[in-house]
Structure 1
Amino acid sequence: MTTWLDDVFAAPKPIIAMLHLSALPGDPGYDSAAGISAIVDRAKAELDALQTGGVDGVMISNEFSLPYLTQTEPITAISMARVITELLPEISVPYGVNVLWDGRASIDLAVATGAQWVREIFTGVYASDFGLWNTNIGEVARHRHRIGADGVKLLFNIVPESAAYLAERSLASITASTVFATLPDGICVSGLTAGAPTDTQSLKIVKDAAGSVPVFVNTGVKAHNAADQLAIADGAVVGTYFKEDGVFENRASVDRVRELVGAVRDFRKTL
């Protein structure tokens, strides 16, 4: 079955690498002495490692903007736009963006930088580490249309990290109603935190209920489990595994990228 993934990516079951930006202006961890140039330098080095290692796409996010906001301050997306603009001449694969945890700001950033997709929490109400977390997909969808972003694909994370859905509903029910009522372009299934394994059973439940909508495994993909995860999912988003020693805070390692990408390419030969 052909999906938009076939139009965007050069290979089936694409591997999208996370490019985690350092803490930005306004974030508690921002290094004001080093400034934006240090963020750009690190991002360029990690982008080179990811692309040299053979990933199919990259997704640029403010992963180190801890603790996260569910409605970000304008300086966050503005700073990300500055960094991404400096990266653009060196990006050679399809790319998306994610302003954590703000769907509307993510779409705005995509329009400003030419990104082809965004990933965010667009539906549901959650009890989270960041407080009570509400969404409004109807408003976001209309905003997307108003600013001419209909071509920007929306990846919905329906099992968000560090949060629990407040309604007593099954994962299959949530997936089916999300697909029917909110029109996602893709669905992401996550573990508890960045790098945490995604439960294979949960992944299969979502895939079975999602119909023709592509499903991504969003956390915890490693070289040894990539084949099992991609036997179910239509693609994978990978961040922590690509870091040196598999440590979230570290920089991307080209050797670890090549290891996982090699396992995925071996799996593709069986398709």
Structure 2
Amino acid sequence: MTTWLDDIFAVEKPVIAMLHLSALPGDPGYDAEGGLDAVIARARQELHDLQAGGVDGVMFSNEFSLPYLTQTEPITAITMARIIGELRSEITVPFGVNVLWDGRASIDLAMATGARWVREIFTGVYASDFGLWNTNVGEVARHRARVGAAGVKLLFNIVPESATYLADRDLESIAKTTVFATLPDALCVSGATAGAPTDSQALAIVKKAAGAVPVFVNTGVRAENIGDQLSIADGAVVGTFFKRDGRFENAVDPDRVVTLMTAAREFRATLS
């Protein structure tokens, strides 16, 4: 059965690479001396390294805007739009965006830049490291329609990092009702933090409950486990493994990109 993943990526079980933008204006870690020129220069180099390594897609995120806001300041998405605009002619693979942790801002950024998808926390109420974390998926869905972004696919992270679902519900129930009641285009299953392994049993539970909705393994994918993870999931989102020494804070290591994508292609070859 053909899915929107086939239409966008034209490969089975795509690997989406995270492009983690440096801290942006307004963020505590922003390098005002280097300014946006330094942010753009690093993003450009990482974009080229990821694409040259063979990734199937790229997702821009403000990953170094720590600590995150659940309702971002306008300067964040505006700055991200400028960065993506400057790099737009150099992007050769499908791309998405993620304004952490703000669904509306992510949709607005996607609409402004031509991104094909967004990843966010769209459903649930959580106790998190960022305080009480509430969502309003109905409002966000209507906002997407109002701004003409109906074609932007919504990837729902239903196991958010640094947070615990407040309701006493099991993961299977959450996945089933999310699919039925909130109309996600895909579900993402994560570990505790960026780079943390995603539990294979949790991934399998969500995959079974999701029916025809694609499921992505969202954190902790490595060259040595990508075959096992993609044997369950419909695709993978990879960030930390691609970094030098596999450390979240480092820049992309081109050799690590090639290593993982080689393993991904070898696994996909077993499917045909």
User: Does residue 122 of structure 1 match 2:131?
Assistant: no
Rounded to whole Å, the distance in 2 between the matches of 1:80 and 1:8 is 22
Give ranges in structure 2 of 5+ residues lacking alignment.
Answer: none
In structure 2, give the amino acid aligned to 1:104: R
Tell me which residue corresponds to 2:44.
44
Tell me which residue corresponds to 2:91.
91
User: Does residue 205 of structure 1 match 2:205?
Assistant: yes
Report matched runs for 1:6-45 at 5 Å.
6-45=6-45
Question: Deviations for 1:50-101, whole angstroms, at most 9, x for unmatched residues?
Answer: 0000000000000000000000000000000010001101100000000000
Rounded to whole Å, the distance in 1 between the matches of 2:34 and 2:264 is 37
Tell me which residue corresponds to 1:226.
226
Rounded to whole Å, the distance in 2 between the matches of 1:224 and 1:34 is 37
In structure 1, give the amino acid aligned to 2:217: V
Tell me which residue corresponds to 1:65.
65
RMSD: 0.4
Question: Deviations for 1:7-64, whole angstroms, at most 9, x for unmatched residues?
Answer: 0002110000000000000000001111111100000000011000000000000000
Please list every run of at least 4 consecutive aligned residues from structure 1 whose deviation after the TM superposition is greater than 3 angstroms.
none
Rounded to whole Å, the distance in 1 between the matches of 2:109 and 2:244 is 28
Rounded to whole Å, the distance in 2 between the matches of 1:269 and 1:147 is 40
Q: Secondary structure at the match of 1:106?
A: helix
Give ranges in structure 1 of 5+ residues lacking alignment.
Answer: none
Tell me which residue corresponds to 2:159.
159
TM-score with structure 2 setting the length: 0.99
User: Does residue 179 of structure 1 match 2:183?
Assistant: no
Rounded to whole Å, the distance in 2 between the matches of 1:240 and 1:268 is 22
Rounded to whole Å, the distance in 2 between the matches of 1:120 and 1:235 is 16
Q: Secondary structure at the match of 1:251?
A: coil
User: Does residue 254 of structure 1 match 2:227?
Assistant: no
Count the aligned residue pairs: 271
Q: Secondary structure at the match of 2:69?
A: coil
Q: Secondary structure at the match of 2:175?
A: helix
Identity %: 76
Rounded to whole Å, the distance in 2 between the matches of 1:219 and 1:87 is 26
Q: Secondary structure at the match of 2:89?
A: helix
Rounded to whole Å, the distance in 2 between the matches of 1:253 and 1:48 is 11
CA displacement at 1:2 relative to structure 2: 1.5
In structure 1, give the amino acid aligned to 2:187: I
Tell me which residue corresponds to 2:150.
150
Q: Secondary structure at the match of 1:58?
A: strand
Rounded to whole Å, the distance in 2 between the matches of 1:148 and 1:125 is 27
CA displacement at 1:255 relative to structure 2: 0.3
Rounded to whole Å, the distance in 1 between the matches of 2:243 and 2:87 is 19
Question: Deviations for 1:91-117, whole angstroms, at most 9, x for unmatched residues?
Answer: 000000000000000000000000000
Rounded to whole Å, the distance in 2 between the matches of 1:262 and 1:34 is 35
TM-score with structure 1 setting the length: 1.00
Rounded to whole Å, the distance in 2 between the matches of 1:19 and 1:32 is 21
Tell me which residue corresponds to 2:78.
78
